[in-house]
Structure 1
Amino acid sequence: MSPSLQSYLTAKRTVDDRALNRRVLGRCSDELAGIDEPARVVEFGFGVGTMIERLAEWGRLPERTSYRAIDRDPENVAVARERIPDRLEATDYRIVDEPDTGWENPREGARADTAGRRASGRSIDLTLEVADALSTEAIADRDTASEGDSRADAVIAAAFLDIVDLERALSTIATILEPGGLLYAPITFDGATGFAPPHPLDARIERLYHRHMDDIRDSGGSTAGRKLLSSLPENGFETLAAGGSDWIVRPRSADEGREYPAAERTFLEAILETIDEALVAYPGDVLDPADRRTWVSTRRRQLEESELSFVGHHVDVLARLENG
Structure 2
Amino acid sequence: MSGFSAEWLALRAPADTAARDAGLLRAAADLAPARVMDLGCGTGAMLATLQPLLPRPAAWVLVDGDVGLLDQAAQRAAALGVVATPQACDLLATPLPAAAADLVTATALFDLVSADWLDRFLDALSARRLPLYAALSYDGGMAWRPPHPLDGAVTAAFNRHQRGPKGFGGPALGPEAPAALVAGLEARGYRVTVADSPWQVGADQPAFTAALLDGIAAAVAEQGSMPTIADWLAARRAATHHTEVGHRDLLAVPL
TM-score range relative to shorter protein: 0.7 to 0.9
**Which residue identity lines up with residue 44 of structure 1 in the other structure?**
L
Q: How big is the shift at 1:178?
A: 7.0
| Structure 1 residues 97-142: Cα deviation after superposition (integer angstroms, max 9, x where no partner) | xxxxxxxxxxxxxxxxxxxxxxxxxxxx201223223424x76x73
Q: Structure 2 residue aligned with 1:133, among 63, 74, 91? A: 91
**Which residue identity lines up with residue 10 of structure 1 in the other structure?**
A
**Which residue identity lines up with residue 222 of structure 1 in the other structure?**
P
Contact 1:42 1:155 (C-alpha < 8 Å) held by counterparts: yes
| Cα distance change, pair 281–52 in 1 and its aligned pair in 2 (3 A) | same
1:300 pairs with 2:237: yes
| Cα distance change, pair 20–202 in 1 and its aligned pair in 2 (3 A) | same
1:287 pairs with 2:226: yes
Secondary structure class of the residue paired with 2:226: coil
Distance (whole Å) between structure 2 residues aligned to residue 130 and residue 301 of structure 1: 42
| Cα distance change, pair 287–240 in 1 and its aligned pair in 2 (3 A) | closer
Gaps of 5+ in 1: 89-93, 96-124, 143-149, 252-259
Contact 1:244 1:315 (C-alpha < 8 Å) held by counterparts: yes
Question: Residue 41 of structure 2 corresponds to which residue in structure 1?
Answer: 46
Q: How big is the shift at 1:82?
A: 4.1
Map residues 307-322 of structure 1 onto 2, 5 A cutoff: 307-322=240-255
Q: Structure 1 residue aligned with 2:137, among 176, 188, 207? A: 188
**Which residue identity lines up with residue 254 of structure 2 in the other structure?**
L
| Cα distance change, pair 213–229 in 1 and its aligned pair in 2 (3 A) | same
Question: Residue 196 of structure 2 corresponds to which residue in structure 1?
Answer: 244
**Which residue identity lines up with residue 53 of structure 2 in the other structure?**
R
Contact 1:211 1:222 (C-alpha < 8 Å) held by counterparts: no
TM-score by length of 2: 0.86
How many residues are aligned here? 248
Distance (whole Å) between structure 2 residues aligned to residue 132 and residue 171 of structure 1: 14
| Structure 1 residues 174-218: Cα deviation after superposition (integer angstroms, max 9, x where no partner) | 425674421001111112022222111111111111122125654
Larger Rg: 1
Structure 1 stretches of at least 4 aligned residues deviating more than 4 Å after TM superposition? 176-179, 215-218
Q: Structure 1 residue aligned with 2:112, among 157, 163, 185? A: 163
**Which residue identity lines up with residue 277 of structure 1 in the other structure?**
A
- Aligned CA-pair RMSD: 2.4
Question: Residue 28 of structure 1 corresponds to which residue in structure 2?
Answer: 28
Contact 1:70 1:131 (C-alpha < 8 Å) held by counterparts: yes
Gaps of 5+ in 2: none
Question: Residue 99 of structure 1 corresponds to which residue in structure 2?
Answer: none
Secondary structure class of the residue paired with 1:189: strand
TM-score by length of 1: 0.69
Q: Percent identity?
A: 26
